[in-house]
Amino acid sequence: MAKKEVAVDLTGEFQKFLEEKGIDQATTISVLEESFRSVIAKMFGSDENFDVIVNPNKGDCEIYKNLVVVPDGEVQDPNKEIALSDALKEDPNCEVGEDLAIVIDFTKFGRRAILNLRQTLASKILDLQKDAVYSKFKDMEGQLVTAEVYQLWKKEILLVDADNNELILPKDQQIPKDFYRKGDQVRAIVYNVDNKNNNPKVYVSRTSEEFLRRLFEIEVPEVHEGLISIKAIARIPGERAKIAVESYDDRIDAVGACVGVKGSRIHGIVRELKNENIDVIDYTTNTSLFIQRALSPAKISSMRVDENTKRAEVFLHPEEVSLAIGKGGLNIRLASKLTGYNIDVYRESDDPDDIYLDEFSDEIEEWVIEALKSLGYTTAKAVLKADRDRLAEEADLEEDTVDNLIKVLKAEYED
């Protein structure tokens, strides 16, 4: 029996469209078959006794309806059975009880069926596109992307990459000094991809530590080639960053290679990060030495490290304390994050009567002590010598709290 073809163009514009969307031939065949079966099921109540054959090489699709031949007058379900007299018109050699495949010309079912097929195809192709976008970017998490600013909103920026995929740069993932106009090129890393309700959303970040890592891989060939390893990164976006590096080749100076001659390599990264200061230090497994390097440029006099609690007590000369803490506490915060240790800075004093604030923990709340220590006020006399109003402002303390603090410390010396 000759096969009757249904005019579904798979080699022309439709196939070209699918290829542009990144949908391969095997998936195309599956989508077409599912779409035809979906429409057939709506029209006939079931697609169980239908065969759908897609011929991508020929560019057509064949549909067969499988019926059981029954005696005339005994047809109970016309979607599954065919009378012998009608069956003989299709195949003169058929007999009662045999299966007969009838060619279905889909185009004869009218405009509504064709429209239904188009809508079903469009829906399935859209789902495939969404799945493809999700899979692509899920595999790219942590990777660097470049995209163009398409739309600016208050809480986020919409970016579009070279393949016209939409990327979202939230406000909290932007460097504080970032400023963009429509059409600007933006570099960021893919940091989160979700597919809630089959609606993939790709979020990118410029504040992630991985973003800094990828920039070093681009600017420093030795990092890209694996000769230098980035062991740890700590960032306060737009302000300052610390990065610990290690060379696997004794002939290569890890810090020097990352910085470049006269800072040539690191300058490009600094500009990309809106003048974020970057400290590059040599990594070491010696905890005390690593903490000492992380607190640079401050020079440490002595240190006590507790491996179990991940705490380090660092003692410095008074003039070194401000360097260790840094402006707004940036240096010590980054050093703690880089090393993984809670670092407490103590001012060495020649005064035997001076007392460290930690010894007042039974009378002064711990958060108050920590706030003062983060500003370099580690001893009782250091606090008492400080200006009361400045102390309240810098440590963000209520006046009553400052007054009580001073009262407790003075009482120690009065006693």
What pLDDT shows up at residue 78?
83
Residue 366: band (very low, low, confident or very high) from pLDDT cuts 50, 70, 90: confident
Which of the four pLDDT bands, split at 50, 70 and 90, describes residue 253? very high
Residue 8 pLDDT level (bands cut at 50, 70, 90): very low
CA angle 206, 212, 215 (to 5 degrees): 100
Model pTM? 0.66
pLDDT on residue 20: 62
Which range in 72-76, 112-116, 353-357 is most confidently predicted, on average pLDDT? 72-76
Query: In whole angstroms, what is the distance from residue 294 CA to residue 292 CA?
Result: 5
Task: List pLDDT tens digits, range 174-227.
Answer: 999 999 999 999 999 999 999 888 889 999 999 999 999 999 999 999 999 999
- For position 50, what pLDDT does the model report? 85
Mean pLDDT of 315-335: 87
SS3 232: strand
Assess contact for 40 and 50: CB atoms under 8 A: yes
| CB-side neighbour CA atoms (13 Å) of 8 | 26
The more confidently predicted of residues 255 and 371 is: 255
**Dist. CA 25–CA 8, nearest whole Å:** 15
| Amino acid making up residue 154 | K
Q: What is the separation of C-alpha 411 from the centre of its chain, rounded to a whole number of angstroms?
A: 54
As a whole number, mean pLDDT of residues 260-274 equals 92
pLDDT of residue 42 exceeding 70: yes
pLDDT digits (tens, 9 = 90+) for 271-316: 999 999 999 999 999 999 999 999 988 988 888 899 999 999 888 8
Per-residue tokens: 81: 């059975």
Amino acid letter at 196? Answer: K
Which of helix, strand or coil describes residue 6?
strand
In this predicted structure, the answer to whether residue 14 has a pLDDT above a threshold of 70 is no
Mean pLDDT (the chain, rounded) = 85
Q: How far is CA 178 from the centre of its chain?
A: 19
End-to-end CA distance of the chain: 114
Confidence band of 339 (pLDDT split at 50, 70, 90): very high
Please, which pLDDT band fits residue 144 given cuts at 50, 70 and 90?
Answer: very high
Model confidence at 119, pLDDT cuts 50, 70, 90, reads confident
Closest Cα to residue 74, out of 87, 64, 61? 87
**Domains of the chain, with CATH numbers?**
13-135 (3.30.1480), 140-207 (2.40.50.140)
